[in-house]
Structure 1
Amino acid sequence: MTLRAVVRGVGHHLPARVVPNSWFEDKIDTTDEWIVSRTGIERRHFAAEGETTSGMAASAAEKALKMAGIAATDVDALIVATSTADLTFPSAATMVQDRLGMTGGFAFDIQAVCAGFVFALAQANALIVSGQATRVVVIGAETFSRILDWEDRGTCVLFGDGAGAVVLEAEDGQGTNDDRGILATDLHSDGRHRDILYVDGGVSTQTTGLLRMQGKEVFRHAVEKLAQTAHTSLGKLGLTGDDVDWIVPHQANLRIIKSTAHKMGVGMDRVVVTVQDHGNTSAASIPLALSVGVERGQIKRGDLVVTEAIGGGLAWGSVVLRW
């Protein structure tokens, strides 16, 4: 028998405020047509004053736990992937732990920017297969609207706020690719490329900082590395793109999503796309898309799902799981 980390529930939270592309037109030199043609983004959600990363994360987790039929008191571990935690410390995860009424277990944050949720899934899987936890809540949550430069048209139109969550539970499998749960993971980072996507401030420099990005360089690395990591994860299982039911990619840019799917040999009819409605929600984008994909009736029990993401660091990786 092989222990697997199986998805029991998903949920997401989006701020009430919807911001269409037209909102930017009288603020910077851009148009709805320019944004859509280059990114595929049509609208995004921005957090209201007082709305926090931990609050959205807790809301998404509550919905995921309800779908799973699992009480917060029965959760062993809680991981929040975020680059925009409420405070320098304590972690957003401990705040979510308190909000949920999870009085036992442990909670911690992971910071790998847009790749954060993939990294968090891999860590949750390791906790489960090693026997350190039976039930783990994994959340991606961000308020990127707090770190945007509203005069930089190349970045401020790209991002949105939101949260998504999954509940994982240990289940015995047969050790084959037909098992439900996480089947393979692949993680990478390369700090040599940190200057192409970063925030130009932080605690140790006593500055706040705003997001900075070299768009063309990020695009080039993204298409190459996302397809590569997905192939690596699938290769560990002796599988290819032909075996995949759904790709649920990081929702950064529709052109990146299409290019990656093409390199994997997967048609867009097998890709869950939400970027048009949410923009790039960084670590929240994959769990948001998973939850929406389930809500739409796209992702069903038994489907083979590949998630892949790349973010500042650079950090990138993928996870293959059977729903």
Structure 2
Amino acid sequence: MNAPLQSPPVATDPKSNKPALTLLIAAPRGFCAGVDRAIEIVERALDRYGAPVYVRHEIVHNKFVVDSLRDKGAIFVEELDEVPDGAPVVFSAHGVPKAVPAEADRRGLDYLDATCPLVSKVHRQAERQIAADRHIVFVGHKGHPEVIGTMGQVPEGAMTLVETIADVEALDFAPDAPLAFLTQTTLSVDDTAGIVMALRSKFPQIIGPKAEDICYATSNRQAAVKQIAPGSDLVLVIGAGNSSNSLRLVEVSKKCGTDAKLIRRATDIDPAWLDGVGTLGLTAGASAPEQLVREVVDLISQWREVEEHTLVSTVEKMVFKLPRQLTE
């Protein structure tokens, strides 16, 4: 019987006596333009209005970012009824149902909308499809704030959520029903392509967006993981457990055949994970700051003699404008 395959032994650096480690760092990684914009909105609001500034929901899905803003005077709440009259409030990057700004207007609250412009684009597409009397099939993850916000742009019952190809197969619309589809911006590119293919196959008349709804940053970070995963023994993804785009990066690596672990920051790393690992991949979700990437590199460098290589799959130059209230 053949002996089981084993990973080659990890070399030891003769100068440091620490095992050598090749570190493949994905690029792009970390903050995207929408996250940069949302954080800057909260920081500028604090400068303009003074503390406290209220933020409805986590501004982005990252505890380090949220805690940093809380230390500066931001107060995070779940609903507007927790915001005192007269206090400024920021809506998170994930977007909110139409009822939220309507309620803020009713109460006379001074609010800033930090919704990512690419999410706002999906909201406008939803409005246009409803105006055209089409029912919308929305591809997304149930309960995610972005999904709640997008579904809240249209009348109740005007949008149906699907998460899988099986959900598509269960749809029972008439063959000639006027339909459109939209997608959450932070989904798996490959999985979503399969679901969209199933929708088009079952409902040839369905109307889709002219441009891809999955945002450039989500697509780029998944493509970057596809660059580093095949040559790695393990991939670490820095991100939060409730961050859709970070969870997708873990899935992408595993589909490439390389195990991946989601960590919030360096302190989550178990040194035993690196046993037998000669090449480690590292990336970060769109809500994770570069500071956490360097923190991971610094910690691993205490255990291993690290040789860093950054693999650049594309260069991002996207910048989003701030709300007019903060620039005038």
Normalised by the length of structure 1, the TM-score is: 0.30
Q: Which has the higher strand share?
A: 1
* Larger radius of gyration between Structure 1 and Structure 2: 2
